[in-house]
Structure 1
Amino acid sequence: MSFLEEYKQKLVSADEAVKIVKSGDWVDYGWCTGTPDALDKALARRTDELKDVNVRGGILLKPLAIFEREDAGEHFTWNSWHMGGYERKLIKRGCSFYSPIRYSELPRYYRDSTTPDDVAMFQVAPMDSHGYFNFGPNASHLGAVCETSKKIIVEVNENMPRCHGGSEANVHISQVSYIVEGDNPAIGELGAGGPATDVDKKVAELIVDQIPNGACLQLGIGGMPNAVGSLIAESDLKDLGVHTEMYVDAFVDIAKAGKITGAKKNIDRYRQAYGFGAGTKKMYDYLDENPELMSAPVSYTNDIKNIAALDNFISINNCVDLDLFGQISSETSGTKHISGAGGQLDFVLGAYMSNGGKSFICCSSTFTDKQGVVHSRIRPTLVEGSVVTDTRANTHYIVTEYGMVNVKGLSTWQKAEAIISVAHPDFRDELIKEAEKMHIWKRSNK
């Protein structure tokens, strides 16, 4: 049987495909831009027939149809690998729960799971002549999802970029149970927010000064990493490489400015390796059929050994809060959930192990709450209930608009002094008093 004949046999409507979902099933919604659209709507139409359906996924770029009804939580539960704004709203409704992960391990979680997916459904690029459906910019862990799921439904989207990979970037038609041709919605976009602030630009300047020619880059999402990317694009740096968990728009700007060649990479030379991508149409067009790009599972991109193998590795990430012990919280403020751990710790550890590598945690020194009150992001201790993303032993460089400090190997009093030096001046005296109370301040400190 030819692949086209098999395709025709497996092609069904979305409503027909989701009939295989039963109450109590575990259903995988893939990842990010691959989250199903037509299948999600079809499953929502079955709400009254279903109870206790557990759905997995993450990096949602738009609301899900299965949670439109007020009583959705009686029928579906969202188990997120990475929380975002929409998912935080579901938490308040009792529909959503976070699954704490170390992102590099996610493919193994599936392969070792005692609760494998009953059904996996996600969007893919159209089938190629060899019978493969490409995951688009979502290699992440989808290879493992397909290996372990009992049934696989693919929703074909002609707008999905076809992303060349190193491995585990496709699923073959022989593994697929059903094929659905959806409405071909535009791929979900994730912008970098508004224009860079003065604080973003100052932090970016401090970091870019630390980047040598031939460095290999990892950028997180957010205004500051984006500002760093913009500054790199305008710099005199050359022969940069990319090895990152998430591919973002800033990399496109750097590449089109001629700064990225990958010529100095120790592995995957001349290729930009990434685990998944989320950005604007500009980025998706750049990823489509581009042989310079290498879509790979996060068990490869986020593997500490692979990160460490790349000389002069530069890792740049945001945080929510940090304290005088050097503990970093990038997930919660107290028990209020904000984001997921992702692969931040993987890159913090790997970058430090790299020959000449550096890991930067950057943030504004302050934030303003809804009442207009200004608070220090640098706290004596993290808010009670806050999750520690990077432990005090692993934090390398901390950067705010007031400076940059390397806290590796420092005693508690040295670390407190260094961190206070990059806090907002209005809060330094108060932080010193708290450090004294906690016995991490010496009289000889500056």
Structure 2
Amino acid sequence: MTTDTDVHTDLDQHAKQLDKAHVFHSWSAQKAFDPLVIAGGLGTKVWDHAGNEYLDFSCQLVNVNIGHQHPKVVAAIQEQAATLATIGPATGSLVRAQAAQRITAKAPAGLDKVFFTNGGADAIENAVRMARLHTGRRKVLSTYRSYHGNTGAAINATGDWRRLPNEYATGHVHFFGPFLYRSEFWATTPEEECERALHHLRRVVESEGAATVAAILLETIPGTAGIMVPPPGYLAGVRALADEHGIVLILDEVMAGFGRAGEWFALDAHDVVPDLITFAKGVNSGYVPVGGVVINEAIAADFDETVFPGGLTYSGHPLAAASIVGSIDAMESEGIVENARRIGADVLAPALADLAARHPVVGEVRGTGVFWALELVADPATRAPLPPPLVAKAKGECVRRGLIPFTVDNRIHVVPPCVVTDDEVAQALPIYDEVLTMLDKEIA
């Protein structure tokens, strides 16, 4: 006798078979890739066809900030699809204008225009283009510990291993940003790390020739690279250095923005106003692909009489715009950013600190809002990173226990949706605890 469970399990297997036959996955060796099939979701949880439920503490790619299937965002997309499903970017569109207005209302004063893109990577591309055209210079400085996307300039601006097979664009220079736990500057305090990192950046600018540098590009809080909240004064110091030399400051808020760091923009917690802000991910929680650049008055004015040499077929797509309006309005009315801030300060910070105190495999906990990293080490004394096979094992054990983690290199990133509740964090913590206990035994 065939049961409903058997039928649904067959659907999961059928999905895997089709996937294996026809889908080419990003950042993966294809032969051994075995995806977890997701059939549905709601809020912080997702499930497969067989009904196995998981807490999604990865937010997929750290982008489902408002949670899965938020009814107000779904309704906004449905209503727009019924009215006007698509229109070209050269036309006027009320919903596009409303989306831009919602975004700029959250940005610092003086950043009042939005150029819409299809995602975060092409937001970086266009921000770099604007900086180069504005300054007449070519070089873009970014950090080694960074990720900015997988298109030409964006991947070259990226600092991790993914840049190396993809170095096609020119004019990119890298430097070390602050990261006290693995300091490149022999620092022992946040103040020393800040001062020495700023001195290092100044020397790079001077050595490259300040008159050749168009932009300094930074993730406000480096995300994929390790959720490294900058020490007090660092971003303000970069702003001052950029001003001194006429360099455009681009802050990449693709991952850190729209509630992730417990603020509308992560830069809100720092004394800094950039010239350009890139965004994507949390602006609509990835319900429809979208990204963009928030532009200050001086750079926008460059193109009052001069044609901007950039564009995309789907720039400001009405379904994406509607999802932005629905998402920002829901986040405002439901206090979702405030919830992320409270969960971070009152729930995650003490709970993760407790895990670190009890588990030698955790070298450091750092983060803010719903944006946290557990730095895993093979040796607490030397801080040697935990080997990748053990991190992969930890990921599998989390999934087996009903939690989808976000793992990168030697880290587990704790990045639930901004709508996560105290009870859902309480469900997740024993899973992390059990998996860390397993890792403790591996390094003993």
TM-score (norm 2): 0.29
Structure whose residues are more often strand by fraction: 1
TM-score normalised by the chain length of structure 1: 0.29
Structure with greater helix share of residues: 2
